[in-house]
Structure 1
């Protein structure tokens, strides 16, 4: 057995150097391609010509999805965010691709800081009144990423009316599971619960006990099978065009785990769950809205929000 401190052979050292050089070359090539694409978007963006812009948008999307080193910073420096906002508002052939790109960019904190100044927030909110389900999915994902553990973005989006638009989508598309799930996740993040997309929250509709009420149950599994994060979200109609949303988040424990610890801590029981519930996590968001938008010409606002 060789000694761990024995130096690498000449061939091993050369192979190691070649591998590092190849990685640097690949990174350099990717950065060059990204820079060229960003420059082309900046020059051609005002015209929004699909054939010319589409390959460049795809190049930027691929770099951001692969988390290419420095890609997010290059996007910020390039100044293309206002062009992306213009593409979203245009509702043209590039809008869906732009929405996919913006959803990925929203995962990068260095990029999403500039969304407000670039007009992307208002553009996203206008997209939420679209009838295109795939477009709505990416817009809701963007809002979810923007508001995840970010109180400033939550406040901005709530003030601009993101919550009633998300509720309107739930009411307009009651049987579209993928769309429903991203809207529910976005509402949770707007409330400050910080539910990551990777958490794998599974949602299902529950039985409502009141007229005009929609109930959603969400569960995200924890490790070891002892507990999971359980969320109960209700959308209730108070009157014509007036709705309220309440969200509760708490720990749900297995019965055996609960029996083991029930004498060590206080607890509550929730009638919906057949398992014990630990109350160490509990948050509620309530707000009411009027004239829930069904077309992009309607304007709404959040009347009051309690967090």
Structure 2
């Protein structure tokens, strides 16, 4: 009951507003289906029994892909990340499914910041020596996503670089020259590791260029024009300068459309100029030298 002197229209408006607020402030109810799956993985995970673990991994993957509210936080609290690392290292029947899950989890900053302590960084690097193309795609995608937000992932990047991520990615490019999907994700990972971040949403198109030196591979990626005026261009050169030793150079340019140059009265034929990141001009050009000579084929990744 309300006050008899309060207008009915005011009562209705207030009731509608209170209903809207109550809906907005409803407490979060944990996802029991996800909790059960995470609990089962935690209990059964050490033995890595495929028939028992697979449906639970699929449940977790579905919740993360659908961006269910609180799913990422539940994964962190559950403590299953070391079990996922164990599954990757085992190279068993669950490894591919685990790599898919880890690649999705790498999108979530609250989850990926625990990858190092859980052993997932070294586990992903061990997967990069696999011959399974699909497995390599998901492992490289996870590494790319871990390195994308470089202002928050500096430690992750340093660990990946120290443990030999770049020579492994280069080796994949040379081993699978005609696999476009694998090539694309490896090139994006190299850019993100170098600090020249490439967003998956950018829609960058990668092509092989013409090498100018013996033993060199050239790749260039072009993103669509922004507002019809300019596009970002990445130029990656991989040069073998010794047995199992490579130099990787990455350049970042901005290419302007002819309409932009005509608009500003610039008659130059070349429409290329260096692209400077605000506050960090050092990112305009990166040259990285890495060696794969001392990288063992075993699970130990110490160089």
| TM-score bracket for this pair, using the shorter chain length | 0.7 to 0.9
Aligned CA distance change for structure 1 residues 276 and 300 (closer, same or farther; 3 Å): farther
Map of 1:56 onto structure 2? 56
The alignment's C-alpha RMSD in Å is 2.9
Structure 1: distance between partners of 2:294 and 2:221: 24
Deviation of 1:255 (Å)? 2.2
For the Cα contact (< 8 Å) 1:215–1:232, is it kept in 2? yes
Residues 205-253 of structure 1 show CA distances to partners (whole Å, capped at 9, x for unaligned) of 0111211000001001142111000010000011222110000011111
Correspondence list, 1:215-294, <5 A: 215-261=218-264, 276-281=271-276, 282-291=284-293
Give distance in 1, aligned partners of 2:229 and 2:12.
48
Measure how far apart 1:262 and its partner are.
6.7
* Residues 1:203 and 1:119: Cα distance change in structure 2 (over 3 Å): same
Unaligned runs of 5+ in 1: 264-268, 302-307
**Structure 1 residues 167 and 219 mapped into 2: Cα distance closer, same or farther (>3 Å)?**
same
CA 1:132–1:159: 2 relative to 1, 3 Å = same
Determine if contact 1:168/1:293 at 8 Å carries over to the other structure: no
**Structure-1 residue corresponding to 2:107:** 107
Q: Output the CA distance in 2 between the equivalents of 1:6 and 1:175.
A: 69
The residue number in structure 1 matching 2:190 is 187
Task: Label 1:300 to 1:218 Cα distance change in 2 as closer, same or farther (>3 A).
Answer: farther
TM (norm. structure 1) is: 0.83
Does 1:44 find its partner at 2:44?
yes
User: Does structure 2 retain, via aligned residues, the 8 Å contact 1:231–1:247?
Assistant: yes
Cα shift readout 1:176-198 (whole Å, capped 9, x = no counterpart): 00000000000000000111111
1:67 CA drift (Å): 1.2
Q: How does 1:15-54 map to 2 (within 5 A)?
A: 28=29, 31-54=31-54
Quick check: 1:218–1:232 contact (8 Å CA) kept in 2?
Answer: yes
Q: Alpha-carbon deviations, 1:60-102, whole Å to 9, x = none?
A: 1111111111111111110000000000000111000000000
Alpha-carbon distance, 1:201 to partner: 1.0
CA distance in 1 between partners of 2:274 and 2:262 (Å): 15
Consecutive unaligned residues in structure 2, runs of 5 or more: 1-8, 277-283
Matches within 5 A, 1:70-149: 70-149=70-149
